[in-house]
Amino acid sequence: MSGSRASNESLRRKVVRQVCLFAAVAMIAQFALTIGRYASDVDHISDHLLDIEIGALAAGLTVENGKPVFTLPRSLRARYGGGETGYIARIRTRAGVVLFESCDAVCMAARLPQETPDTLSWLRRSRDGYPISVAGGRTFELAGQSVLVDIAIEQDPAGRVWSVFGEELVEEMLLPTAITLGFALVASLFAIRRSLAPVKAAAAKAEALDPAGPYVRVETDGMPLEIAQFAGAMDRGYRRVRELMEAQKVFTAAISHEVRTPLAIVRLELEAIDHERARAAIKEIDDLVAFVEQLTALARIEAAERPSLVPTDLDGVLRDAVAAMAPWVYDRGGTIALADSDPGGRLVLGDATLLRSAVRNLIENAVEHGGAGVSVEVRSGEGPSIVVSDNGDGALRDDEASFLNTRRDGRLGLGLQIVRRIASLHGARLTVSQDRPGGVRATLTFNPSSEPSATAKRKPHAV
């Protein structure tokens, strides 16, 4: 679940990314349209260029002793400081007093009109298209006098037209688009948050759903229609799983009850027959009875509610299980050993009865898979964990899943299925690995429940 969650992206982040993507595409398209529109409207660009240049020159106008004076701004000296720069400027009062000229009288006469215009502004283009060649002027009021700022631009060698494009794009595209994008993001996130509030609550409930626990219905009130339909389908599937589990429990319990009695009767009849084939049949019946008992145990565990888990002495559980299983192991020609440990050395949150059943099934599995003369060792480990290992020849023939589901003779075995179910009830994990040079190790690893106390060094001893 955690891996899946890590690989999934939140809806909020997806919406933000998609809105930004669409906004970027819209801005690129609008940028291209704006550039195309301005590129074809030379008059508009020329007029705007004059406004920018004249405004920059007008910033150098001040008043001294009641009279207007002009100082060329530092940023304009490269263009209007003199010489053939392609930019010419003249600043004078309407009375004819010249405050500034960027070239001599002959140059001025060739490029700017000598008469004083009657209008507040004027514009004249000397050629069409780009690069721009244009002349014009504006009138400013300063210290009670009218000051005329006239300029002429010949083919715009400094590329000032691009600053015009930049200002137009910022004013007409970037600012409006940024405002619209910001509003769209805020509105989208607000709408998503409100719409997903019931979905988030339902997801928290769904995370805790357990077919083996009490039934919990996922409420769909307030959800968007599509998500509510999906949640409803999930709830129906969840109910179906619970029904199947209940049916499985009833079926398993019924089979176990109905089969055990006839098998006991058949075994009694066979014991009265003194024949080798009868002895073989009794062994088969014993195996079948053991299988039925495992089936009954599994059904009982599946049918039970979640156990009440309390701090349990793991080493004490192992001692009880090994003591109970030792005669059974010896009868089958094997040996069993328990690694030394301190009483109360390892604690887990668990059910002692279920844990003893898990250890018994692990021991039975080791003997069944290990073969004749197998030696089994049981110990507690770090984690904390329960480790049951053997030195037999029960290798992992295909894979761990096959090993967990079949016995040495190829028949279906339920011992490790019982262990897996008990592990699930305890939040633990069962793993099976190959020991070297031979044998198999089964490990039941628990989530840490407390700090383990110091344990004695383990030295195997026969039981």
Same domain, 454 and 387: yes
Q: What is the pLDDT of residue 456?
A: 38
> Which is higher by pLDDT, 413 or 30?
30
Average pLDDT, the chain: 78
User: Where residue 432 falls among pLDDT bands split at 50, 70, 90?
Assistant: confident
Domain of residue 174, residue span: 10-40+164-204
Same domain, 30 and 111: no
Q: Which has the minimum average pLDDT: 82-91, 263-272, 349-358, 445-454?
A: 445-454
Domain boundary residue among 240, 271, 300?
300
Given a cut of 70, is residue 280 above it in pLDDT? yes
CATH number at 108 reads 3.30.450
Residues 6+ apart with CB under 8 A from 380: 314, 315, 318, 339, 341, 345, 346, 386, 387, 455
Number of Cβ atoms within 10 Å of the Cβ of 369: 26
Same domain, 330 and 352: yes
User: Where residue 58 falls among pLDDT bands split at 50, 70, 90?
Assistant: very high
Q: Distance between CA atoms of 121 and 119, rounded to whole angstroms?
A: 5
Given a cut of 50, is residue 211 above it in pLDDT? yes
Q: Where are the beta strands (DSSP E) in 32-181?
A: 61-64, 67-70, 87-93, 98-101, 121-125, 134-142, 145-153
Same domain, 128 and 175: no
- Domain assignment of residue 219, yes or no: no
User: Do 332 and 290 form a contact (C-beta atoms < 8 A)?
Assistant: no
- Domain assignment of residue 99, yes or no: yes
Q: Which has the minimum average pLDDT: 227-231, 278-282, 442-446?
A: 227-231
| pLDDT, mean of residues 427-437 | 81
| pLDDT, mean of residues 4-33 | 74
Helix/strand/coil percent split, the chain, to 5? 50, 20, 30
CA atoms within 13 A on the CB side of 166: 6
CATH number at 283 reads 1.10.287.130
Given a cut of 80, is residue 160 above it in pLDDT? yes
Q: What is the pLDDT of residue 410?
A: 45
Q: What is the pLDDT of residue 398?
A: 44
Q: Which has the minimum average pLDDT: 91-95, 238-242, 453-457?
A: 453-457
Rounded to two decimals, what is the model's pTM? Answer: 0.46
Q: Which has the minimum average pLDDT: 51-60, 180-189, 355-364?
A: 180-189
- Domain assignment of residue 270, yes or no: yes
User: Where residue 449 falls among pLDDT bands split at 50, 70, 90?
Assistant: low
Q: What is the pLDDT of residue 177?
A: 75
Pairing of strands 335-338, 375-381: parallel
User: Where residue 7 falls among pLDDT bands split at 50, 70, 90?
Assistant: low
User: Where residue 213 falls among pLDDT bands split at 50, 70, 90?
Assistant: low
For the chain, count helices (H), then strands (E): 13, 15
Q: What is the pLDDT of residue 100?
A: 93
DSSP 96-129: S-EEEESS-HHHHHHHS-SSPPSSSEEEEESSSS
> Which is higher by pLDDT, 111 or 404?
111
Same domain, 184 and 199: yes
Q: What is the largest CA-CA distance in the chain?
A: 145
Given a cut of 80, is residue 455 above it in pLDDT? no
User: Do 357 and 300 form a contact (C-beta atoms < 8 A)?
Assistant: no
Same domain, 425 and 449: yes
Q: What is the pLDDT of residue 17?
A: 80
- Domain assignment of residue 68, yes or no: yes
Place of tokens 């059904």: 299
